[in-house]
């Protein structure tokens, strides 16, 4: 289980899971699907007590709850989760099991990042040409 994927998966749910978002659990489940909400709830139930025991991890989770689209916040949470799971193999194994169960039930996470001028991020298949601006020009012959 990749902790960066775990942090990215939990990000849109943490506001509701921590009671900080303006949306209800039903609204979140409606937006992302009931199966995804249930998976996030299972994972967070298993993690919450351990995260609360580590102030840096708790702060990272709260930052992600407030800014779920922030790569920096998700990265900080992933780092805290990595340290937590490195020190608790039983927790790591249990989360890996829950993650596999979610994947078997069809709950997946896709993270796509575009970085840089005119970059392109694709979360699926692309066939054909992607143009990001200037059209290529034919060479000008020397006269």
Q: What is the pLDDT along the chain (143 residues), one digit of tens a residue?
A: 799 999 999 999 999 899 876 667 677 777 778 888 899 999 999 999 999 999 999 999 999 999 999 999 999 999 999 999 999 999 999 999 999 988 887 766 555 566 677 677 766 666 777 767 666 666 677 77
For residue 120, being part of any structural domain is answered with no
For residue 62, being part of any structural domain is answered with yes
**What is the reported pLDDT for 30?**
77
For residue 10, being part of any structural domain is answered with yes
Tell me which residue range forms the domain holding 73: 3-104
**What is the reported pLDDT for 112?**
57
Tokens coding 43: 């994972």
- Inter-CA distances, 2 with 27, 72, 78, 92, 113, Å: 27, 17, 9, 11, 16
Please choose, from the candidates 6, 18, 4, 9, the residue with its C-alpha nearest in 3D space to the C-alpha of residue 96: 6
For residue 96, being part of any structural domain is answered with yes
For residue 79, being part of any structural domain is answered with yes
**What is the reported pLDDT for 44?**
96
The number of distinct structural domains making up the chain is 1
């Amino acid at each position: 289980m990749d902790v960066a994927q775990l942090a990215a998966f939990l990000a849109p749910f943490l506001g509701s899971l921590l009671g900080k978002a303006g949306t209800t659990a039903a609204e979140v489940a409606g937006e992302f699907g009931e199966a995804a909400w249930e998976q996030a709830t299972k994972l967070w139930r298993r993690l919450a007590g351990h995260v609360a025991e580590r102030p840096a991890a708790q702060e990272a989770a709260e930052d992600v709850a407030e800014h779920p689209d922030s790569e920096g916040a998700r990265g900080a949470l992933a780092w805290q989760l990595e340290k937590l799971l490195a020190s608790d193999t039983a927790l790591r194994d249990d989360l890996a099991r829950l993650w596999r169960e979610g994947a078997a039930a069809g709950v997946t996470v896709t993270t796509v990042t575009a970085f840089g001028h005119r970059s392109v991020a694709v979360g699926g298949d692309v066939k054909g040409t992607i143009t990001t601006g200037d059209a290529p020009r034919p060479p000008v012959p020397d006269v």
